[in-house]
Amino acid sequence: MPIGALVAVLPLLAAAVAGAFLFLGDLPRPIQYAVVAALSYLLGSVPWGYMLLRLQTGEDVRDYGSGRTGMTNVLRTGGGKIAVTTMALDVAKAVLAVLLARSVIGSTEADVAAGLLVLVGHNWPVFLQFRGGRGILTGLGGILIMAPVAAAIATVTFLIITFVSRYVSLGSVIGVTIGCLSLVALTLVGMYSSVYALYAFIGGAIIIWQHRDNIQRIRQGNERRLGHPAQKVG
């Protein structure tokens, strides 16, 4: 989708989300689930990294490095300011999706469905021919609302591993793994609903699958370390 059309979609999507918060609560439950599911996927599909880099430099982030639209590739391609903004917005869209589900439907099943669908939208966005990111920050946004303790554990693990190894991908995979295991453990001791374990298993599996090429490069010893710029592909 052209960048102009993407920008034009944003106020329409914002209006739809606002309308859902205001008017969806009194509608039948199947309609609530259908609308929240659609909006969660569409929120996830907003490719902030792609849009911000395109608007500032005219470049397509998918033409560089890993070809992904997430924060790490944006950092390597466009620098720290765009990357930090991308990070905040990718977390925020998942936070918004889960809060929408919680406000309108008010069940842990709805939280999990919204969290997974916004993650799917981020990784396979309809607006970019299903070429998106890997889901780390969007997955974090979902777990931040559902289980903030597990989110904190995952974040600390990511920071430590990334600092020591200089591999963002390694920090991401280990952080996701520890975060998901922590969430499962916290559900077992009754701190959070057991339904959230589904988010850990399914969301964690999606994110790790999206890192399969990184895992292969780490094993081969040619994964890019933090601070290395992205090269144009093709």
Average pLDDT of the residues in 179-189: 95
Check if the beta carbon of residue 230 is closer than 8 Å to that of residue 65. Answer: yes
Determine the Cα–Cα distance for residues 227 and 85; give it in Å rounded to an integer: 18
Determine the Cα–Cα distance for residues 97 and 17; give it in Å rounded to an integer: 9
pLDDT tens digit sequence for 209-218: 999 988 998 8
Place of tokens 């916004």: 118
What per-residue confidence (pLDDT) applies to 228? 61
pLDDT tens digit sequence for 138-152: 999 999 999 999 999
Structure tokens at 141: 């946004």
> Phi then psi for 194, rounded to 5 degrees?
-65, -20
Rounded to two decimals, the pTM is: 0.92
